Amino acid sequence: MEVKEHRIDGIEPGSIADELGIRPGDFLLGINGQELGDVFDYHFLINDDRLTVQIKKADGEDWEYEIEKDYYEDLGIVFENGLMDDYRSCTNKCIFCFIDQMPPGMRDTLYFKDDDSRLSFLQGNYITLTNLSEADLDRIIRYKLAPINISVHTTNPDLRVKMLHNRFAGDALKKIERLFEAGIEMNSQIVLCKGVNDGEELERSIRDLSGFLPYMQSLSVVPVGLTKFRKGLYPLEAFEKDDAKKVLDIIHKWQKICYDKYGLHFVHASDELYLLAEEAFPPEECYDGYGQLENGVGMIPLLESEFMECLQEEKEWQSKQKTSVFSLFRKPKPIQIKTVSIATGRLAAPLMRKLSMAFMCLHPDIRIQVFEITNRFFGEQITVSGLLTGQDIRDTLLDEELGDRLLLPCNMLRSGEQVFLDDMTVDTLSQKLNVPIMITASDGQSLYDALLGTQD
């Protein structure tokens, strides 16, 4: 049989592969005499302190390297395809799928539905288990790959078949039991659909999934996102204030049950539910270390906490400077007002205004404007900043005086690129608005530095 070759796309500087002279354009043929099917095999086989690595050089020569290293040390090889194999698409037709609510004419990659267990391990993607083969399940267990992130949505098998529109969706839940019995760490999520998997069904799902503690480490509950492009799809309604309150009541009830029994709150509501219900966010300890940040659980309270900590540290520093003997000989500098603008979605706008007011009290030389961007591209019910497009930002801010710089959160952009969902680039938007744009990370320190103008 023909040996499967995996093209090497890059080498991390200073890594083992770099020191050995392995270069981009070479091919990995095997490790310890074993061929590699994909990234699962690679990560398992390199966990050793002695390796024999087979490489085919770009000129066609076969080389073999004997390597001694720390057990978990990586080789520093970056592959042309991160999975070292083809991506596996989703076979479900979920009633809440966001991709089915996308308008036509966008780039092809936005319409690809992945449900690949390898991306769960590598990138934290959530999988439904319906596309997980028994062979892959066996490999996860044998290789002890973790954590595995699972889109559960409901533990009612019949309802899950309906929600995922897949006749195998109910049986796929049995794979959670196998992962639990094997001691594989998991996280789970529920996309909550009003009148479908909320109420008693939500209680059932939380009860069932909490039974897999401690290996099922967390469960997030996120309300469904509905765009204006839902024609011909399953009729779903948006959650209102009273609906969100009922959901939070259930979650808080089960947080207490789980904490009393396991010392872990386990189930967490997304920030959107607290904002919809107009309820205060819970204290930091209720988030169990913020393990579901990527699902929008705790992002807003954590950002606020980090930002206010930066503010307090600077207040203390300024106080020390004022009491210093050297301050007696300083002349006060004339105040030159700088204007900084922030653009964000409706969900985060109130927090940005709150933080801006606190910041300006300490920095009277900086004026901050917060612009709430309405999502006209996907519809006004989409309130998160991560789904805003360049054209909506442009259209909202085109006639505004934006000052010295415009701050945008990094979740508006494609990962690793300076491009919005509608393919508008940051440079194009900057030129249209005639203002320098700074992209800020999602933590409070980055936002604080960006307001000061000290961000890298």
Domain 99-296 -> CATH class: alpha beta
Beta strand 405-409 with 338-344 is parallel
99-296 and 300-452: same fold? no
Extract the tokens encoding 156.
Answer: 């009612």
Whether the pLDDT of residue 416 is over 80: the answer is no
pLDDT-derived band of residue 143, with 50, 70 and 90 as boundaries? confident
Strand ranges across the sheet with 6-11? 62-68, 50-56, 27-31, 6-11, 77-79
The arithmetic mean of pLDDT across residues 419-441, rounded, is 95
Instruction: Using the structure block, give the residue that is written with the tokens 């300006």.
Output: 360
Number of residues assigned to the chain: 456
The pTM assigned to this predicted structure is 0.85
Q: Where are the domains of the chain?
A: 6-79, 99-296, 300-452
The arithmetic mean of pLDDT across residues 345-362, rounded, is 95
At 325 the pLDDT is 52
CA distances from 244 to 223, 228, 345 (A): 9, 21, 19
CATH code for residues 300-452: 3.40.50
φ, ψ at 215 (rounded to 5°): -75, -30
Instruction: Using the structure block, give the residue that is written with the tokens 């900084």.
Output: 340
Whether the pLDDT of residue 285 is over 80: the answer is yes
Q: Assess contact for 89 and 56: CB atoms under 8 A.
A: no
Q: Convert the pLDDT of each residue in 208-255 to its tens digit.
A: 999 999 999 999 999 999 999 988 899 999 999 999 999 999 999 999
CATH T-level topology, domain 6-79: Pdz3 Domain (2.30.42)
Provide the percentage of residues in the chain whose pLDDT is more than 90. Answer: 75
At 349 the pLDDT is 95
At 121 the pLDDT is 65
